[in-house]
Structures are given as structure tokens and as C-alpha cells.
Amino acid sequence: MQPQEVPLASLLSSRHLERLRADGGSGSATVDNLWAATLAGDLAEVSAYQGPSARGALALGPGGTWNDTLIPRVRYLSRERPGSPELAPVQHWDMTDAEIRGGFDGLALGYRIARWTARTGRLRLSQLLDMYYSPRGVALDAEVKACQRGSSAAAAFAEDTLFAQTSRFARTLTDTSPDAPYMTEAALRNFTAASVRAFLRYAGDLLQGDACDSPPLMSVRVNAIVVLDTTWARAAAYRFITLLAGAEGIDVGLFGSRLAIMNGGLGGPVGGHWIVNFTDSPVQIATDWVAVDAADDIWPTYLDLPWTLMAVIEHLQSKAEAESVQGSVGSAHGDVVVILATASTVSDADMRHAKELVPRVKEINPDVRLLYVVTELGEARFQELATMSAEWDDVVVVVDDTEADTVAHAVASYLRHTPGRLMPAECVLTQGGSPSSTPSPSRSTSRPYAAAARGNHARAKGWPVQPGLHVWAAPGVRGRGGWSRAGGGGARMGSRAEFEDYVAPGQLRLYRIHTEYTRPGMPVSVEMVGEDYGELRLCMWRGAAPGGAMAAMRAALRAEDAGGVDPGRGDRDDTPQAECANLSGFGETNVTIADPCQDRCAPLYVSVSASKSTFKCTEEDCRYPDEVRYLLRPRGVSCAGSLPVQSGSTTCTTSPASLSLWVAALAAQLVLLLAAH
């Protein structure tokens, strides 16, 4: 918004202006467009419309209530005004609670926007609103945030200015609105003074309820597939999906998570169908769900676990192949599959098939995480799948009841700290193979696996997702001539394979290097390249804390805050010891773990945090203007049965010659060790 001071004389008709001057008024005073668009504009309606008839009893508000406390979509204004002696029916809607809050917000932002834009060079409205309506506040002034809108607007607010601007704008209403009668300048000033006094009392009480939460250390970034069984009817299922996708869940959005929904039963021609394609748009989820409600054959009738896992395998294979073409060495998003099984049972035959298919899922992507959501009755059954390997992070989530909000909260709590991944370039070509290499279930059943793996695109009439739409579209690739990032992270092609990402001060980016990519005695390092966006800190540690992957991540986060030692575990040998390095400008740095398999192989965790920003982040990939861009290069990691990726290498190979060289290298190290002793 361009600041403007508009003279009253240019806003009033000539007849009205003459009458005003005859009453001793003046048309030389100016109306400020910022005040007119925020508080003074609405308060002028109170003065002009209520003043002549209210006899001093000016009314502000009312408030209102949402149609749903968990999924608010419609807000209803109150028909009665709280605080009045007899709860008198509301007759005036000139300045509602929402308009008061919006007025403070507009004043706080409009007062500073020119200064902020001058500092950054480019500031998008979406960035500004995203920051202001979040606990972290506006990056250029962290104290400016909606949860403390009163103090945020204090710098621009002055009672004298509010009175003057309200009086002037009310004068324009007496000229242009049939509901506002003409009044003398003295009368208008009296009504304005009364409305300002009423506003100060009412707004002070209204804003007392504002409170700020602590901003999260980690933003949630996952690629989540949700598999529906028959737990809920469609309305309840949509409630669960909406809660999970929201800001209190996994935060589906352009800079947050992506979500897809799968039919886990035989609601259609075959199981494993995609009800909602992968999307980072909550609006798209709502739009696709309209088709779900309109189709009779799309809803699951039970959970067919083998068919579902085969559809997941096909998706992961498509995603892996897309990443291989780009030479990807990392992803900002962790991959998770949430299987809702609270109302389902799995037969012995299906369980045997599932035990054959889950290792195939891990073979394509060892970092993918399976969450089985069950009640206490189904816990033991699904523990058989979750505990097949100690290297897997799969978990059985037991819920006390199947209410949508209960399940959504339980799932979100497990996904909130899901790390991204770092890996060797093009490993998926050696590990994943082609879709045709997927092992079929035991022939003890009559189900034709080939028809499921390939025919699972067939759609009955009315299915909302067309063939092939679920095939993964990989994030953008940054080349030497330009760059693009779709929702976080990208691979940079050239002589070096690099992963690009962003972090803002006060945030932590967490990645994992799976044990599949490390070898005993082979050091692993991660190089970080700065691009002069600010000051960064890179840390890496072995996730050796007891209690599984979740315990390792929690301990690692504490270790990061404590400078390398987890204070919660004292001096125990299994405390994560973080190797850290700082970086600024256009420099490069690296951290190394000499032996990731010391005692036993453990996943490596890598964190990146920023302590200072130069506010250079103006490209489309920047969520906030203070984000700091960096590149990561994993080194010493290798595909199964291949040589480690060293500097300058972009591919993994599993040729017989490479395998022989790797074996020979290990043999040579063994000879040297024996000779030393």
C-alpha cells in the first residue's frame, strides 16, 4: 500500500464542502489512507451511524464463535452482546471484534512495510502474513506478531491521531452514506470523542486474551501417505485428514509437508488406490474430497495390507527413479506411510505376504518410516511387522480411542521430528531396480500380483484420480544456470552432487544418513557450502542413544543445544558426541565421523542451524526473508555393494569391477592392520 494523505476537500462534494465551511469547518485537513483502511475507518462508522441516535451508549463488537473448534470454517457473529445488563440483542455491527483485531494488524504492518521493503529489496505479502500470524513473528522485527498485536501496533498508535483521523473519515461518511446524517463540526467531534473512549475501553479488554506460544525449533517436512481402512465414515475421515494436515499436525503447505491419501481396502476395483494425489495444498485436499463424497465405489471396506504395500512400493519406485535421474543426494522431506488399522484385522496369509513386502519397501528407500495406528487389541499383531529389523524406525501407535482428533494428535506427535535424508547419488538405481523386480507374494493365494502392481491404475467410473497422477514429481534441480526448489531441497548437478536447503535463525534442519550407506572403518563426512546469506553451524553425530530412533533424535537435539554433549545422559558412553563447525560468507566447511560403525553401526544425524542472517533471501524458494541458503555434500557414503562416494563423484555403481575394488580395499586395510601388530 502506497502511503497517501488525501485532503478532505477532494473527498467531499462541493455542496457538502460549502455547508461545512459555512459551519466553521475546514476542508484542508487530510485523511491518512493507512488509518482509514484500519482502525479509523471502522471507528468512523460508529461515530457517524450510532452517534446521533445512541445518546452516548455507543456499542462496539460483537464477537462470535466458530462452527467447529478443531476445524473452523465458518464464524458466526453473536446475536447478543456480552456484558450488557440484559444481554440486549445486537443492533449495530459497525466495528466487530474481528474488525478491531484486523485494524490493529493492518496498522502494525502498514506502519513498517516501507522500511522492511527497503531493507530486503523484495518482500512478498504471503511472507509477511505467514510470519506475522505465527509464533516467530516478523523476521525483521520479531516482536511484531499477531499474538501480541496490541504492543505491535503501539509504535504507530496515538490517541490524538486516532481521534483526528476518525473525525475526518466520519465527515466523508456524512456526505456519501445515506445512513449518516449531516452534523455540525462540533457535534461530529463530540460523537467521535465518545467513540474513541468506548473503543479504548473495549479494545483493551479484547486484546488481554492474546497470548504467544513458543515457536517450534523444527518445522515439519514429510511426504506422508495416509492409508485409510474402515475406521471412520467419510465425514470423520475428512476431519482426521484436515487435523493432520493443519498447522498443529504436519503443516501441509508449499514450505511444509506433502500428503497423499490411499484407499487401503477393496472400495474400488482393486485395493491400494489413491484417493487424493500427493499435494502440498490444503485447498487441493478439500477439492479432491468433494469427488470422494460423490463416488460410491471409492471408500475402503476393509484393510488389504498386501495390496496396499504393493501400491506403496510402486510409488516409492517411481519416486526413486525420478530422484536418480536428478542425481539427488538428499531430501528435505522424510518419507512416511501411515496405515490406519484401528478397525481392521489381518489374516495369517496377509501377514506372511506383508512380511515379504516390507523389506522390499526398505530396499527401495531405507529411510521410509511405517506407522501402524491400532488399538490395544491389534498391537501385538502389527508389532510383528514393526520389529522385523532393529535398523528400521517403524512404530506401532496405540490409541485409546478412535476419535479423529485423538488419532491425528497421536500420529502428528510421531511425525513432528522426522528428519530429512542424505544419501549417495543415484543409489536408488542399484537398490530399487525396476518396478518389475518387485517380489510377488507367496503363490498360496489366488491374487494375481502382476495385475495389482500394474493394473492398480485402472479406475471405475467416478474415481477422482486419473491413471499415473500419483507418480512422483521430484523436487526441482538447481543447475549452474539457475535453480528451482519445489517445497524444500534440490539436487545440484555438475561435477559435484549437492543438496540445497534453507534455514532461518532460531530453526534447526535435521537430516539422517542411514546405516545402509555406511561401512565399517570408512569415515563419513558432510561438506557444507555457504552462499553469503548468513552465519551457519553444521553438526553431525552417531545416533547411538538407547531406545530406538526417536530417542536418538531427542538426545541429538539436546546435544545440539548443549554444544555436543547430551546433558540428559551425563557422561555415559552412549551419549551422542556431536562434531560441529561454523561457517559464514562463501566459505566451505565439513564435519567427519571417523567410524560410523564403531561398536555397532548407527545412523548418522546432521543438523544445520543459523545464528545470523543477511536478509538476502528474496527468491521464490524463500519462505522467510531471513532464511540462509546452503549446500550439503555427503562424502564417504555408498550404495549397497559399491564404493563410497568421494569428492567429485556423482554416481554409485555396483559393477563387478567396483565390487572387486571395494573388497580389495578392505583386504588391503586388513593386511595393514595385521602388519602394524
User: In this structure, which amino acid lies at residue 177?
Assistant: S
Name the E strands within 99-193.
none
Stated length of the chain: 677
CA–CA separation, 615 and 618 (whole Å): 8
Burial class (CB in 10 A: 0-12, 13-18, 19+), 276: buried
Beta bridge partners of 223: 258, 335
CA–CA separation, 514 and 472 (whole Å): 22
What distance separates the 2 farthest-apart alpha carbons in the chain?
110
pLDDT at 290: 83
Q: What is the dihedral of CA 113, 119, 125, 128, to 10 degrees?
A: -80
- Cα distances from 522 to residues 328, 519, 597, 627, 670, in angstroms, run 22, 5, 8, 34, 13
Name the E strands within 400-497.
420-422, 477-478, 490-492
CA–CA separation, 548 and 543 (whole Å): 9
- Cα distances from 526 to residues 328, 578, 604, in angstroms, run 15, 13, 10
CA–CA separation, 513 and 524 (whole Å): 10
CA–CA separation, 30 and 107 (whole Å): 18
Angle subtended at Cα 469 by Cα 466 and Cα 473, rounded to the nearest 5 degrees: 170
Contact 107, 156 (CB under 8 A): yes
Q: What is the dihedral of CA 283, 286, 290, 295, to 10 degrees?
A: 120
Cell, residue 659: 565390487
Burial class (CB in 10 A: 0-12, 13-18, 19+), 298: buried
Cell, residue 647: 569428492
Cell, residue 250: 504436519
pLDDT at 49: 94
Query: All domains of the chain, ordered by start, with CATH?
Result: 5-208 (no CATH), 222-418 (3.40.50.410), 499-559+576-635 (2.60.120.380)
Give the residue from 580, 598, 570 showing the smallest Cα distance to 536: 580
Beta bridge partners of 610: 536
Beta bridge partners of 583: 536
CA–CA separation, 128 and 140 (whole Å): 10
CA–CA separation, 21 and 92 (whole Å): 31
User: Helices in 255-327 by DSSP H: which ranges?
Assistant: 282-294, 305-325
Q: How many CB atoms lie within 10 A of CB 33?
A: 16
Cell, residue 221: 517436512
CA–CA separation, 289 and 226 (whole Å): 14
Helix (H, G, I), strand (E, B) or coil at 559: helix
Contact 512, 367 (CB under 8 A): yes
pLDDT at 645: 44
User: In this structure, which amino acid lies at residue 523?
Assistant: P
Checking DSSP bridges between strand 604-613 and strand 490-492, what pairing results, if any? unpaired
Give the residue from 436, 500, 492, 441 showing the smallest Cα distance to 629: 500
Q: How many CB atoms lie within 10 A of CB 515?
A: 18
CA–CA separation, 437 and 431 (whole Å): 11
Beta bridge partners of 5: 32
CA–CA separation, 157 and 203 (whole Å): 13
Cell, residue 489: 531441497
DSSP 500-512: EEEE-TT-EEEEE
Give every CB contact of residue 282 below 8 A, 6+ residues apart in sequence: 242, 245, 246, 252, 253
pTM value is 0.82
CA–CA separation, 346 and 351 (whole Å): 6
DSSP tally for the chain: helices H, then strands E: 19, 22
pLDDT at 600: 82
Checking DSSP bridges between strand 477-478 and strand 420-422, what pairing results, if any? unpaired
- Cα distances from 518 to residues 238, 369, 390, 508, 549, in angstroms, run 41, 19, 16, 24, 17
Q: How many CB atoms lie within 10 A of CB 398?
A: 17
Beta bridge partners of 369: 336
What are phi and psi for residue 473, nearest 5 degrees?
-105, 110
pLDDT at 216: 86
Cell, residue 116: 522492511
Cell, residue 408: 491425528
Give every CB contact of residue 441 below 8 A, 6+ residues apart in sequence: 306, 352, 353, 356, 357, 447, 449
End-to-end CA distance of the chain: 77
Q: Write out residues in the chain with pLDDT < 50, as ranges.
A: 85-87, 267-272, 428-488, 492-495, 545-550, 564-573, 641-677
CA–CA separation, 160 and 167 (whole Å): 11
Give the residue from 635, 367, 628, 336 showing the smallest Cα distance to 509: 628
CA–CA separation, 577 and 522 (whole Å): 18
Give every CB contact of residue 332 below 8 A, 6+ residues apart in sequence: 221, 420, 475, 487, 488, 489, 501, 509
Contact 577, 564 (CB under 8 A): yes
User: In this structure, which amino acid lies at residue 71?
Assistant: I
Give every CB contact of residue 339 below 8 A, 6+ residues apart in sequence: 227, 229, 264, 303, 305, 308, 370, 371, 372, 373
The HSE-up count of residue 368 (CA atoms within 13 Å, CB side) is: 22
